[in-house]
Chain A
Amino acid sequence: MKLKKKKSKRTSAKKKSYLLISPMGIVSILLTCLPIIYSFYVSMTEYNLTIPNSFQSIIGLKNYVEALQDKDFLNAVLTTLKIGAPALFFEIILGFGFALILNRKFKGRGLVLALMVTPFMIAPGAAALAWRLLFDSRYGPINHILSQIAGKNIVIDWLGAPNIAFKSLTIIDIWQTTPFVMLIILAGLSSISSDVYEAAKVDGASRFQIFRDITLPLVRPILGVAVLFRTIDIIKMFDMCHALTKGGPAGTTTTLSYYIYKQGLAYSRVGYGAALSFITLLVVSALVAIYISRTMKGGSA
């Protein structure tokens, strides 16, 4: 009798828990699973929004074969790396430096951190305009400041020159995302107890030794998280390209996300765009799998 009651209580709790989560589950299925499955189907067709009935022409993996031979697609991948890799490098170095500087208690720390993070919080689309003004070759302060430093007139076409524009996007990304990397590293640093440092100091360790042998190993897992987050972020990079450079000049700032958008929606080749996005999905899934296996094991980050 008692046992039965307990059991029914447990099943009712189970029912309740499923009832509470089901609306979110349904939304998840409708808005995520269904579109991904549908996208896979579309990627097997020659679907083009401007060609009637192209939806029905199933061509199998032909879009995927085209993607692998598409030089512009390869270029978009390379551009994404060319913008993202140096950005990530400097973000880690600078983020670590800033975190070490800010890793102490002082008045107004919360405010300083919040102000530092604003570049990461405001819309990239609006930040794009800020940088458009800063980079302006006639009225922009960046050329002016550089001229002052160099002592001669410097006119750099930051957004119009094909060998410079992608570097400008790297600079903007460093400005935007260093604070994010800093905050993550700072969270890692503050989790190290001060006893460890004290003990090392008593043992006569130098500052550099403390950094190399204590700080770095303890922060490393969280650094891995930051790198993974950022890698996926770089794959998502879109707003700056659309607002600031339109992927130009001469396609030198067309990133992966922007290329897929252009093929799929701007040029109406949805079948091909879906194939490109599916390839991207596979790459991202692999990265997420690495992240998940790490966090589930470590549990902390």
Chain B
Amino acid sequence: MNRRIQINHKKIFGTIGWYLLIAVILIITLFPIYWVIGTSFKYQRDFMASPPVYFPKEFTLDHYITAFKMWNTWPYILNSVIISLLATVLIVLLSVPAAYSISKYRVGGAKLQAWLIFQRMLPPVVVIIPIYLIFSKLNLLDTYIGMALPYLIFNIPFAIMMLIGFFSDIPPSLQEAAMIDGCTEIQAMRKVVLPLILPGIVVVILFCFVFVWNDMLIALSLSRQNTQTIILLVAASMQQLTGTYFGMAAAMASFAIIPIFIITLVMQKHLVRGMTMGGVKG
């Protein structure tokens, strides 16, 4: 009896300690994000305080208002949204049929798989110089389509590998059954396979959106005045950043962070798969 209570004690303290440990890890991990988003809502006296104010008592939306009025942030956000959506739509339109073809007919075999991995891993800096030269000849610099196209290089392989994983989750007998019932292959695909693969497509869309939204190198190289993204604005705001502008710079960075933060929470279940290009199931 006595011994049993002792064991329970040990277990309870173990569990509490374990929860504390996780809390500490989470706090350290999230602190930088808390700090930047927090700064965007702080009054100047709080973000220019020494010692720093960790838990401000008052909040303000002023920095967001000045970010819009003085720095004209809205077009940058719009550019980010347009480019990310455009690239994502193109990626999905090209990847879904390709992934279907690979998973059903084994097109290309191991060689194609190897090529896709290669294309996925390619450092952007390796292709950005020739793409810059080619796009300047084609008058594609500083255009939405020109900004969206380079992202296809790295994200189509990603999307295809993810989708192959999702396709392989669907038992082939389902489609065969539909075809025995008199559906053509395209009908079977549309009525049976597509609805089942739809959640997978949504996951791919969200991931690609995040990848394109976050990019700096390609946007920096191919944009001029008209197609600059919010990420470039944040980077520009950091040149010779003085204390007085902390709040506004933080507000602009928050625009870049918050949508991605939400998407990450939505995609909980699929993070492992996405981060390893569908290679490791989470």
Contacts and interface: CB of A to CB of B under 8 A. Distances in A.
A93 interface: no
Contacts of B94: 23-24, 27
B250 interface: yes
A141 interface: yes
Interface stretch (A62-70, A83-91, A109-117, A160-168): A109-117
A97 to B, nearest CB: 9
B1 interface: no
A36 B119 CA distance: 11
A146 to B, nearest CB: 12
B67 interface: no
B121 A24 contact: no
B33 A284 contact: no
Contacts of A110: 268-269
Given A113-B268, A130-B35, A138-B243, A261 B128 contact: yes
Contacts of A246: 239
Contact of A39 (B48, B51, B119, B129): B129
Contacts of A31: 127, 131, 149-150, 152-153
Chain A contact residues: over half helix, strand or loop, or mixed?
helix
Contact of A123 (B125, B216, B243, B246): B216
A126 B253 contact: yes
A254 interface: no
Interface string B134-160: 100000000000000110110010001
A247 interface: no
B131 A140 contact: no
Using C-beta atoms within 8 Å of the partner chain, give the interface range for chain B.
Answer: 35 or more
A21 B98 contact: yes
Interface in A108-155: 110-134, 136, 138-141, 144
B243 A139 contact: yes
Interface string B218-242: 0011000000000110110111010
Nearest to A111: B268
B231 A125 contact: yes
A112 B25 CA distance: 10
Given A38-B133, A122-B260, A257-B125, A184 B275 contact: yes
A55 B101 CA distance: 42
A222 B18 contact: no
B130 interface: yes
Contacts of A296: 110, 113-114
A206 interface: no
B22 interface: yes
Contacts of A184: 272, 275-276, 280
A187 B119 CA distance: 24
B129 A17 contact: no
Interface stretch (A194-202, A210-218, A274-282): A274-282
Interface in A34-85: 34-36, 38-39, 42
B276 A123 contact: no
B76 to A, nearest CB: 12
Nearest to B106: A17
Contacts of A16: 101, 105, 185
B29 A144 contact: no
A144 B101 CA distance: 58
B172 interface: no
Contacts of A122: 33, 214, 256-257, 260-261, 264
Given A20-B100, A121-B210, A141-B52, A101 B134 contact: no
A19 to B, nearest CB: 8
B56 interface: no
A269 B31 CA distance: 41
B86 interface: no
A265 interface: yes
A260 interface: yes
Nearest to A187: B280
Contact of B123 (A125, A235, A292): A235
B49 interface: yes
Contacts of A256: 125
B250 A116 contact: no
B234 A125 contact: yes
A123 B114 CA distance: 28
Contact of B107 (A17, A129, A138): A17
A244 B238 contact: yes
B54 interface: yes
Contacts of B257: 122-123, 126-127
A117 B271 contact: yes
B108 interface: yes
Q: Which 3 A-B pairs have the closest CB atoms?
A: A17-B105, A123-B214, A130-B36
13 contacts: A28-B115, A118-B33, A123-B256, A124-B214, A125-B231, A126-B36, A127-B257, A131-B32, A133-B39, A136-B243, A139-B50, A184-B272, A284-B126
Given A31-B131, A115-B265, 11 more contacts: A20-B100, A23-B94, A27-B156, A28-B119, A122-B214, A125-B232, A126-B36, A126-B234, A144-B52, A179-B29, A260-B129
